[in-house]
């Protein structure tokens, strides 16, 4: 079945390349470095190290504490990080800088992948969360590269999808050396897909181990001064197409009761910055951009976070957070970031990417879900108008994150077991 899959992948390749060109209209980075997508790397590429794949921004954020820990524990091993998207590449370069070397992951074609691994010759492969590619897994097996799936998650919906290609999925599971999965429920789903129970460990989510910079609060205080210390700050972060309009509708309701509220709006993808800015300005809002590096005035109404790598700072400087990808069927983005800095969270109904974590945050009293712009405005106003409630909800979220740390250490123990089967150069 894998051969049939490969055949159809080759047939679809012209359309995949056309899609890259289409996306390059808004983000020119999609038209760059195509040789890497076919496995061609420079001879100077780091060899005999650790290869880690994080498909895009969310997985890269989760990988950051793991990369720092790997660099500390294995200082002589080079680390290569691959992503699929330019936004993921930007986050790698912004957050990890000279700690790693970045390339794009080749397409899931045997020739491209063999070229890639012939050059890198990694001692270990780490894939963040759930990126299941038949040829990638098989080529790792052929090259005798131990394959570790880190911070794995699998929704019920995704599991059903993989069950439709059960034979192909089972073959992929057989090529997994070890998996660190977030919950016991998700572990059972992987086992049903064919993963050997002896190769799976429930560790919790590595996203609880996110690093809070020592100077974050000081930087947040400085940013808050630029926004207006006396103003109430509502951040709507990681938003997608179809969400900004709903957020602006909520914001208009909030401003009727609390006109000095400032909305901090942070689109998920940089290639949408210009469109979101235009939408805000078209609706008549006085808009300030992070890229302008100007303070807000008393007449400023929306601050657009058109930068990379500063979301945690924006959360820390805000009073209430809405986490995007949840008002549309994207499954929501990471609510642990605002929780970690102690601000209450509101999200929409689509939460399947963080189902267990979102439910636990709701039970802890740190997160509220809504289904409409009107409800969103109501919940934000409720938190703004009750200082005690807002502080308590934020503190409950912060304590929840602290109490669930520890997945990183479990990951490192599993990685050490895999590396000890091969010599560390």
Give pLDDT, residue 422: 60
Given a cut of 80, whether residue 421 has pLDDT beyond it is no
Confidence (pTM): 0.81
Q: What is the pLDDT of residues 74-90, one digit of tens each?
A: 999 999 999 998 888 88
Asked if 145 contacts 124 with a C-beta cutoff of 8 angstroms, the reply is: yes
Residues 6+ apart with CB under 8 A from 171: 1, 2, 134, 137, 138, 194
Residues 6+ apart with CB under 8 A from 208: 336, 401, 404, 405, 406, 407
Q: Where in the chain is the domain with CATH 3.40.50.2000?
A: 216-403
Exposure letters 370-379 (e unless 16+ CB within 10 A, then b): beebeebbbb
Active site residue 243: no
Tell which residue, 394, 318, 325, has the closest CA to residue 58.
Answer: 325
Q: What is the pLDDT of residues 339-361, one digit of tens each?
A: 999 999 999 999 988 888 999 99
User: According to the CATH classification, is domain 2-204+406-419 in 3.40.50.300?
Assistant: no
What ranges in 105-178 are assigned the alpha helix state H?
A: 110-120, 134-142, 156-163, 166-174
Q: What is the pLDDT of residues 12-71, one digit of tens each?
A: 999 999 998 898 888 888 888 999 999 999 999 999 999 999 988 888 888 999 999 999
Higher pLDDT, 59 or 221: 221
Tokens of 17: 């390349």
Q: Where in the chain is the domain with CATH 3.40.50.11720?
A: 2-204+406-419
Write down the CATH superfamily of domain 216-403: Glycogen Phosphorylase B; (3.40.50.2000)
The rounded Cα 326 to chain-centroid distance in angstroms is: 14
Q: Which of 59, 129, 186, 337 is catalytic?
A: 59
Q: What is the pLDDT of residues 88-144, one digit of tens each?
A: 888 898 888 889 999 999 999 999 999 999 999 999 999 999 889 999 999 999 999
Asked if 72 contacts 412 with a C-beta cutoff of 8 angstroms, the reply is: no
| Bridge partners, residue 128, by sequence | 150
State the DSSP H helix or E strand holding residue 192, giving kind and residue range, or none if neither.
Answer: helix 184-192
**Strands laid side by side in the 178-181 sheet:** 101-104, 79-83, 50-53, 124-128, 147-152, 178-181, 200-202
């Amino acid at each position: 079945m894998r051969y049939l899959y490969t055949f159809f992948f080759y047939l679809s390749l012209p359309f995949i390349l056309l899609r890259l060109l289409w996306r390059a209209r808004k983000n020119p980075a999609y038209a760059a470095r195509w040789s890497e997508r076919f496995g061609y790397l420079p001879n100077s590429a780091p060899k005999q190290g650790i290869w880690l794949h994080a498909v895009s921004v969310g997985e890269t954020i989760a990988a950051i504490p793991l990369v720092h820990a790997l660099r500390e524990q294995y200082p002589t091993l080079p680390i290569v990080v691959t992503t699929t998207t330019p936004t993921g590449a930007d986050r790698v370069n912004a957050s990890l800088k000279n700690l790693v070397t970045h390339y794009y992951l080749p397409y899931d074609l045997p020739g491209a992948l063999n070229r890639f691994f012939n050059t890198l010759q990694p001692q270990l492969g780490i894939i963040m969360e759930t990126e299941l590619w038949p040829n990638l897994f098989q080529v790792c097996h052929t090259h005798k590269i131990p394959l570790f799936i880190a911070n794995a998650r699998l929704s019920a919906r995704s599991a059903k999808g993989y069950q439709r290609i059960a034979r192909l999925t089972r073959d992929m599971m057989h090529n997994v050396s070890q998996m660190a999965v977030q919950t016991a429920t998700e572990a059972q789903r992987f086992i049903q897909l064919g993963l050997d129970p002896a190769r799976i460990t429930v560790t919790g989510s590595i996203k609880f181990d996110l690093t809070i910079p020592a100077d974050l609060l000081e930087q947040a205080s400085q940013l808050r001064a630029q926004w207006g210390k006396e103003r109430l700050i509502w951040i709507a972060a990681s938003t997608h197409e179809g969400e900004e309009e709903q957020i602006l509708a909520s914001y208009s309701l909030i401003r009727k009761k609390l006109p000095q509220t400032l909305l901090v709006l942070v689109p998920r993808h940089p290639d949408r910055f210009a469109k979101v800015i235009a939408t805000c300005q078209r609706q008549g809002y006085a808009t300030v951009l992070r890229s302008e590096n100007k303070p807000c005035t008393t007449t400023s109404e929306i601050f657009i976070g058109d930068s990379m790598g500063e979301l945690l700072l924006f959360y820390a400087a805000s009073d209430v957070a809405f986490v995007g990808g949840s008002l549309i069927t994207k499954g929501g983005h990471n609510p642990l970031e605002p929780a970690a800095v102690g601000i209450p969270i509101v999200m929409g109904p689509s939460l399947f990417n963080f189902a267990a974590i979102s439910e636990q945050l709701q039970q802890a009293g740190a997160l509220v879900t809504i289904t409409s712009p009107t409800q969103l405005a109501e919940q934000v106003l409720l938190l703004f108008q009750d200082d005690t409630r807002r502080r308590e909800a934020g503190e409950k979220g912060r304590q929840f994150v602290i109490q669930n740390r520890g997945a990183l250490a479990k990951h490192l123990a599993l990685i050490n077991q895999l590396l000890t089967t091969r010599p560390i150069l």
